[in-house]
Amino acid sequence: MAKVYIDKDASLDPIKDKTIAVLGYGSQGRAWALNLKDSGLKVLVGLEREGNSWKVAESDGFKPMHTEDAVKNSDIVIFLVPDMVQRYVYRERVAPYLRDGMDLVFAHGFNIHYKLIEPPKTVDVYMIAPKGPGPIVREYFAKGGGVPALVAVHQNYSGKAFEKALAIAKALGATRAGVIETTFKEETETDLFGEQVDLVGGITQLMRTAFQVLVEAGYQPEIAYYETINEMKMIVDLIYEKGFTGMLKAVSETAKYGGFTAGKYVINEDVKKRMKEVLDRIRNGKFAEEWIEEYNKGAPTLVNGMKEVENSLEEQVGRQIREISLRGKPKS
């Protein structure tokens, strides 16, 4: 089993006298900047434009500055801008101002693993990857908890990169829950795989296809939505809280029998084979090449995909069902 690092295993000492530049003030950037500041660290916010994020950072008590100025005045640079923007920000706003002994920090390994960013050997390069969205990272921290995280070291110029990674994890609140060591390769490839075959791609297509099968067979769309999409939250919540065994114990015997038999028929060895093909494309870099090309063309697949989903019958029905569900939600 992997070693889990908790609060007692980490110290803020390796970074307490450092100035930290957080590049980007989206959901993760805001959470990181606020958590690090509330942990007593000196934080600068670096932004490309004086737009909405600039105003939000100001309202949160920061004095944002342009990216290159934040880099010039910092010891640790944290990349929290979107993956496909990072290499441009690095090349134009960060690399010219890097000094020997500085740290480059990432929340996802994509740009380092696929060599879109190749830092000089005279800097530390490490990663802290919270396993939750930015608003949750902030919410849990503010309430005294923390979101688990992965940490990894790519370059250890100082000899203390891992200790600094744990220190930032602690300042984010992650060691309150638990931190596991990984590599940039493992984090990147497993993260992309999970998103594609399960968390975003697989589960979405599974639910939408099940909905469509019922509607095409003549069942009411509202009933189909309840049975194939809406109830998914309750099942996933049970798995999150109690594991697969706990979920199975919570459903009927009929549901268990049908699940054990039909589940393996639908998600069969052919599906597993295609999952392995997806993983191969991630590991050999073909997915990264495809995504970079797609992004450079203006991401038409994303634009068209979002339009198709937004206009689908399941989304139209979903809006109605969510209104019904919200009316029945207990008031806190």
- Measuring CA to CA, which residue among 274, 264, 269, 113 is closest to residue 198? 274
Locus of tokens 């070693």: 3
On whether the CB atoms of residues 165 and 187 are closer than 8 A, the answer is no
For residue 249, count CB atoms less than 10 angstroms from its CB and return exposed for 0-12, middle for 13-18, buried for 19 or more: exposed
Q: From CA 203, how far away is CA 232, in angstroms rounded? A: 10
Q: How far is CA 210 from CA 57, 164, 203, 221, 226, in A?
A: 43, 47, 11, 11, 11
Active-site residue set: 108
Q: From CA 172, how far away is CA 151, in angstroms rounded? A: 12
3-state SS assignment for residue 217: coil
Q: Which residues of 171-209 are buried (b: 16+ CB within 10 A; e: fewer)?
A: bbbbbbbbbbbbebeebbbebbbeebbeeeebeeebbbe
- Measuring CA to CA, which residue among 263, 287, 260 is closest to residue 201? 287
